[in-house]
Amino acid sequence: MSEFIMTLRCGNRSGIVAAVAGRLAAQGGDITEAHQFDDPETGMFFMRVAFRAETDAATLRAGLDEEVRRFGLDLTLRVAGARRKVLLLVSRFDHCLGDLLYRTRIGELPMEPVAIIGNHPREALNLTLMGAIPYHHLPVTAASKREQEAAIQRVIEESGAELVVLARYMQILSDEFSAWLSGRCINIHHSFLPGFKGAKPYHQAHRRGVKMIGATAHYVTGDLDEGPIICQDVEPVSHADTPDDLVRKGRDIERRVLARAVAWHLEDRVLLNKDKTVVFAR
């Protein structure tokens, strides 16, 4: 008996749930968790089903061919809990990176970190928790961005990474690279978007005198800090907090927001809905 996770997206039409549930039942599938969402604005339908079955993913996928055709399903199906290959990028601040690696180490994140790329030398980091994970020091300047991104792309292709996580990686990806990574690159921006986009958001927040700061995990797109939002959280701050206090308080929010977003993505809980996300969280 194996556990599977299936997701599907399609234009909404009558009878999808009945058809899909019926097909799963017919294949001996036993649903353990199911979520669905109808977007009345776009007419799109989204579903995520966790189920147990005696068979294998390929057989199940084949068994759903008719529904895929009939409803035009954009379907994914994989074994639940399978570790997925992830490339992590970092700059000078490694709190998010260390947090993701620790969660992976204790088995909380179903991630196989294929490599870590940093634009600073490894010695600049505070972590030692990298074990056998290859670290690539790929410095970058305005002039060398294209080559550096090509090098990152080679690592992704050679490693088979399915997901790229910008774990406080502070370089702005080019439009082309962002497009190539569409839907599979998560960034943590250290503000509560849409406020304080761009550089030094904590300093922007301090100047504005907001009474809460936050962090936002989102998919990277060509527009800086504009991509579909996956997860956000906040903490209260006061007039007494200096920019350094905001940076300090912000680290904790960034860590948990990025970790939730990455976990949800790896568990197929996040479905793209144009400029937004549908998140079947737990």
Nearer to a second copy, 117 or 272 (CB): 272
Q: Shortest gap between Cβ of 282 and a second copy (angstroms)? A: 5
Q: Which pairing describes strands 111-118 and 135-137: parallel, antiparallel, or unpaired?
A: parallel
Tell me the H-state helices in 95-242. Answer: 95-105, 145-159, 175-180, 201-208
Nearer to a second copy, 177 or 192 (CB): 192
Burial 260-276 (b: 16+ CB within 10 A, else e): bbbbbbbbbbbbbbeee
Question: 172 to each of 31, 49, 89, 175, how far by Cα in Å?
Answer: 42, 36, 12, 9
Query: Active site residue: 56, 94, 223, 225, which one?
Result: 225
Nearer to a second copy, 162 or 233 (CB): 233
Q: Shortest gap between Cβ of 214 and a second copy (angstroms)? A: 8
Q: Shortest gap between Cβ of 148 and a second copy (angstroms)? A: 26
Q: Shortest gap between Cβ of 124 and a second copy (angstroms)? A: 12
CA-CA distance, 77 to 4, in Å (whole number)? 7
Binding site for a second copy (CB under 8 A): 14-15, 17-18, 21-22, 24-25, 30-40, 95, 98, 102, 105-106, 108, 126-129, 131, 192-196, 207-212, 214, 228-234, 238-242, 245, 248, 251-252, 256, 259, 273, 275-279, 281-282
Say whether 225 is catalytic. yes
Q: Which of 236, 148, 152 is nearest to 192 (CA)?
A: 236
CA-CA distance, 243 to 155, in Å (whole number)? 36
Supply the residues annotated as catalytic: 225
